[in-house]
A and B are shown apart, each in its own frame.
Chain A
């Protein structure tokens, strides 16, 4: 390798070395794939690279490392604050947000993006839990729903640092006023490599496509009281994920289809379907 900077291609998040180490320049693009392995509704633990098979555009790849639960998280809460939340639902949403904030570890960061028709970065990425709690306490339910615009902006506002990023989206309805189309936002998500989990009240085809595009999961709340449990479950699910890294042997521009499967172990695998470069 020659000295310089490690190249980062769109949607391929390179693992950057710590600042104290020498920085290298390379055309090598390391791909990171967050993988969830579940069996009977519970995460499957203790897997190693020997348990995973990964193909990139149909070509088998060598999984270089499998990391679980070691890197800190950047969690962006993307919360619907539209008018339909007035009353008890908003109170339960605030409780759920607080519960998630409490469940974060000291080196985790969190941000709060709220949306009605207006999208706001209410609290930028921080370790200050009280800032998040105070903002949640001040939430007001009003206006329409610009879910797609909010997801695009939240993806763009993610810091893209060494941490694993999770967008946790909550909405109780459907988009009513976004400028961006579903396909546009799904493309944004595919380029990002972020994992997006969704907690929802009503079923919505876009939310299904969103989680599928990001390799995330969706939970449906059967009551407002369940929000708290589902928020923390979404965080736990993220922590239990395996982070697979590999250097693709296929060096072509465009969409790369990624398929992850298991060897010698049973379980349901959820991962993003690919990446763009």
Chain B
């Protein structure tokens, strides 16, 4: 009985992890249940994946290739916390498919577009999960291929900006030999490196509002005189409420640093109007009312926040901690599901 069960299980393993089944997973990701496809792929041992990909590269149609890259990318994202060592293997599988797409005749431009979006997702994924060394490795690779892509340059800046809080071996700033600077100096240098990347991105695309927002906020923290202009322009060019919310918040933060407390309160209030269920404007306003000599109003705002039916989506948290590039991810998913 035990032997029969073992034989059956072995047979199932062979069936489940065949190249045919791999293609079925890709198709399930394309047009069925993407999450189920990712879960099924997660059960495959690495040698079986390698074998299936070797066979499938000759079999998959062009329209299936993006889905194949994405199912591995989504699996990498899903296991990043629990199995970080296997994440890179999954991303390598995705790269195999990106290379296969690039090798397709007459699809070079499309393959480049897919790869650019894929890099955006991978860089932001690693950065948002504090894997800054890996993020930096992929950023160098991405910019080696696409040195004048403003969004990829922006992501490189965002990685540097996050790195200033990090004490990991990741050291993006080249230091003079034999001198270990104080952490504050190192943090400042990292921030300046980030600002340089944002400026480079804006030189290539002056309307990249997200880069301007980051640059303006760095300037605000450095007491740079250009901070207000950058943030005001970012506000003008903001394409969505998220950017508008952050621009008002940062203009408030800048005014507060400059002890223009009435202006700060006004900007924080505007930020609250754009994001009435977000936590940060209430915290900022409560604090500024205290400074303005309105302790009752400060307390009232704290109570208003406590009573608020909130959604866990304050853009400040994503801004400060990093977040996956939703726009690139949505684009890739749409391409993977395209018929």
Contact = CB atoms under 8 A, between A and B. Distances in A.
Contact of B293 (A10, A144, A188): A10
Name, among A157, A178, A179, A184, the residue most crowded by chain B CB atoms within 10 Å (CB to CB): A179
A58 to B, nearest CB: 26
Contacts of A121: 306
A153 B317 contact: no
Interface string B272-308: 0000000110011011001101010011011101100
B284 A179 contact: yes
A191 interface: yes
A179 B290 CA distance: 16
B321 interface: yes
B92 interface: no
A149 B279 contact: yes
B320 interface: yes
Contact of A118 (B293, B299, B310, B320): B310
**Majority secondary structure, B binding face:** helix
Contacts of A156: 286, 290, 298-299, 301-303
Interface in A105-162: 117-121, 124, 143-144, 149, 152-153, 156-157
A191 B290 contact: yes
| Range of interface residues on A (Cβ < 8 Å) | 20 to 34
A1 to B, nearest CB: 24
Interface of A: 10, 117-121, 124, 143-144, 149, 152-153, 156-157, 176-180, 184, 187-188, 191
Interface of B: 165, 249, 253, 279-280, 283-284, 286-287, 290-291, 293, 295, 298-299, 301-303, 305-306, 310, 312, 314, 316-317, 320-321
Given A118-B314, A157-B302, 14 more contacts: A118-B279, A119-B279, A149-B283, A153-B302, A153-B306, A156-B290, A156-B299, A157-B299, A157-B303, A157-B306, A178-B283, A179-B280, A180-B287, A191-B290
